[in-house]
Structure 1
Amino acid sequence: MTLLTYKDRPVEIAPGETVLDALLRAGVEASYSCRSGNCQTCLHRAVEGTPPAESQKGLTDAQKALGFFLPCICEPTSPLVIAPPDDAGAAMEATVREITPLTDDVVRLRIETANFAYRSGQFLELIAGDDLRRHYSLASHPEEDPFLEMHIRLHPNGRMSRYVRETLVAGQKLHFAGPRGTCFYEGVDADQPLTLIGAGTGLAPLYGVLRDALRQGHRGPIRLYHGARERKGLYLTDELQALAKARANVEYIPATLDLGANVAALALEAEAPRAAHSAFFLCGDDALVNRLKRDLFMSGASLKAIRSDAFTPAA
């Protein structure tokens, strides 16, 4: 096997040469800056093979688990197949298994496919046409569910919303690409307090992370905050209340604006005093996630202990 392959293209690499130098010599347009492993501009991902440990210095545990590495300081000694960090790979086909309402404007979409590896909390790119693609986080667990589950908000004038509402039916074929994202449990200390904060369909990845943490035997306290504008906007409440009742270390805290509870303010008030010792997962719209990241960091949380999945609406 070729020592270095970029996507499906063999790249010659000399002994002692870095991956970045080999890519540039081969005419690959690879971004770079410092060439010393500090700026992370040249970040790539190994889709096959294991990058040398020294080429992953400064990366998060989640990034390392996904095969990310720094080509500028990587001198491989075993075969690597690599791709740009945002390359979701080829589109795959899936079959719609179920579309069911969770609230007045949120549906659960479950699709089936074969031989697809992912981690709970990552996201997919759902493809409904060449010019209609949207990202949705996964609420399912790869070892517990025979399907991929997404929670999709149906916006009144949204093109994907209209497609899901008016076109998709059980048994239909569709395509997706991925997975992407580092918002998953890997790298969390099992005895560390784990805090999950989200609003709306930001619950989807948090539900996946929560289930994964419990499956992996997380021993520290786990608190899940879920916010919505109105009480009717909450969902999976029965499942989450059952988990909290069955597991002594799990607490479920719903918060709705119509009852005077803002999920960000509620979570920050409770979590700020213990922020320095906790791992955080934040999911929801940009404003919520950015506010929480800033305020938790100012309260003593390490940036490496904060993972986030910010939802940006399509134009």
Structure 2
Amino acid sequence: MPELRAGDRQWLVAPGINLLDALNGAGLAVPYSCRAGSCHACLVRCVSGEPLDALPEALDARKRDLGWRLSCQCRVVDDLSVEIFDPLRDGSPATVVASDWLCATVMHLRLEPERPLRYRAGQHLVLWTASGVARPYSLASLPGEDPFLEFHIDCRYSGAFVDVARTLQPGDPIRLGELRGGALHYDPDWQERPLWLLAAGTGLGPLWGVLREALRQQHQGAIRVMHVAREHYLTAELQALAAEHPQLQIELIGPDDFQAALSGLRVTSRQTIALVCGSPASVEAYSKRLYIAGLPRSQLLADVFLEKV
């Protein structure tokens, strides 16, 4: 049986056991959200030995060369020694600047990193609380314009991170973990093409950044923003942008009208680019309708928000 070591702990594990399960089963409390290699909350560094990695491409070559692995994607097949990601040692420091509410269920969290962070609109970042709770969130801010890192936190339900986020005050410390690209971005080559930004709930957050990036780069094609939510937010800001940019169309849809809105989607140009973000169910519904409507799969970019909070 392989021997697994972490810190001052060592124990025998079943051959082929999932590394994340082995660590958490031993009480080491490695955080995770997606178990799909997307959120990067479960990072560990291999000190000696090598696990069987099902998704090596999920990490860039530089991090892999330093020994980092996503424990949710690894199986222990031989003796292995790892270090668990320590946000105090391995993360970047930031401070809460403001925490208020965009609507009754969506928190507007703004952070100031100690060192400038290079990112693009639509990326997501793992946030670590001082108590060691981690979760990835998409950036809603626009690099170069917004002075802080901004996040829209869905607070409809209780959860480990959400419960801590509700208590955050200006000046509180936050650690920043892995910055991820995600699927959502704006490409200058799209300037003349119709651009659809389809969101559900706080899926509007990253698309808010992408929309402003498109407008900053003087996007010439028609832009359609559809937001499905029980409580809409950024309504005044979206309408103000639409008043300034005649090519921008804003549609605010309630959940009861979602299916009717989907049925009304018609792809009139094969050049259309669609960016979709929200819960798994909403992303699947959008994607199916766009496929039926004739949008090529290569022109649909989607980010699915994790339902575990």
TM-score between both structures, scaled by the size of structure 2: 0.70
Q: Aligned partners of 1:163, 1:141: CA distance in 2, in Å?
A: 25
Q: Which residue of 2 aligns with 1:5?
A: none
Contact 2:188–2:217 under 8 Å retained in 1 = no
Letter in 2 for 1:314: K
CA distance in 1, matches of 2:235, 2:159: 27
5 Å-filtered alignment, 1:1-315, equals 42=57, 45=60, 90-113=90-113, 114-128=115-129, 132-166=133-167, 168-180=168-180, 181-186=182-187, 188-229=189-230, 233-257=231-255, 260-262=256-258, 265-270=260-265, 272-274=266-268, 276-314=270-308
Give secondary structure in 2 for the equivalent of 1:196: strand
CA distance in 2, matches of 1:313, 1:164: 16
Letter in 2 for 1:261: D
The SS at the match of 1:102 is strand
**Superposed displacement of residue 30, structure 1:** 7.3
Displacement of 1:277: 2.2
Q: Residue by residue, what CA displacement relative to the aligned partner does 1:224-275 show, whole Å, maximum 9, x if unpaired? A: 001112xxx1111111000000001111111113xx521x5414523x3326
Residue 43 of structure 1: how far off its partner (Å):
6.3
Moved more, 237-246 or 86-95: 86-95
Partner Cα distance (1:282, 1:85) in 2: 26
Q: CA deviation at 1:41?
A: 7.0
Return closer, same or farther for 1:235/1:150 CA change in 2, 3 Å cut-off: same
CA distance in 2, matches of 1:27, 1:133: 26
Alpha-carbon spacing, 1:45–1:235, altered in 2? closer, same or farther (3 Å): same
Structure-2 change in CA distance of 1:254 and 1:140 (3 Å)? same
CA distance in 2, matches of 1:82, 1:294: 39
Output the CA distance in 2 between the equivalents of 1:297 and 1:47.
Answer: 37
Residues of 2 paired with 1:163 and 1:125: CA distance?
15
Deviation at 1:156, TM superposition (A): 4.0
For the structure 1 residues 156 and 285, does the alpha-carbon distance in structure 2 shift closer, same or farther, using more than 3 Å as the test? Answer: closer
Write the distance in 2 (CA, Å) between the matches of 1:47 and 1:248. 44
TM-superposed CA distance for 1:28, in Å, is 5.9
AA paired with 1:277? Q
Residues in 1 aligned to 2:189 and 2:59: alpha-carbon distance in whole angstroms: 23
Matched-pair contact (CA < 8 Å) for 1:276–1:299: no
Deviation of residue 178 (structure 1)? 2.7
**Matched length:** 245
For structure 2, list consecutive stretches of 5 or more residues without a partner in the other structure: 1-47, 74-84
* Partner of residue 77, structure 1: none
CA distance in 2, matches of 1:301, 1:82: 40
Q: Which amino acid aligns with 1:237?
A: T
RMSD: 3.0
C-alpha separation in 2, matches of 1:30 and 1:115: 35
Give me the TM-score of the superposition, normalised by structure 1.
0.69
Amino acid aligned to 1:266:
A
Change (3 A) 1:47 1:214: farther
Q: CA deviation at 1:289?
A: 0.4
Query: Which amino acid counterpart does residue 104 of structure 2 have in structure 1?
Result: D
Question: 1:64-88 CA distances to partner (integer Å, 9 max, x unpaired)?
Answer: xxxxxxx9xxxxxxxx999779999
Cα 1:191–1:28 change in 2 (3 A) is farther
Q: Stretches of 4+ moved more than 3 A in 1?
A: 26-32, 40-44, 80-90
- SS state at 2:287 partner: helix
Deviation at 1:92, TM superposition (A): 1.1
Contact 2:227 2:252 (C-alpha < 8 Å) held by counterparts: yes
Inter-CA distance 43–200: structure 2 relative to 1 (3 Å threshold): closer
Q: How far apart are the structure 1 equivalents of 2:146 and 2:234?
A: 16
% identity of equivalent residues: 33
Q: Could you report, residue by residue, the CA deviation over 1:29-57 in whole angstroms, capped at 9, with x for unpaired residues?
A: 6758xxxxxxx975653569xxxxxxxxx
Shift of 1:300: 2.0
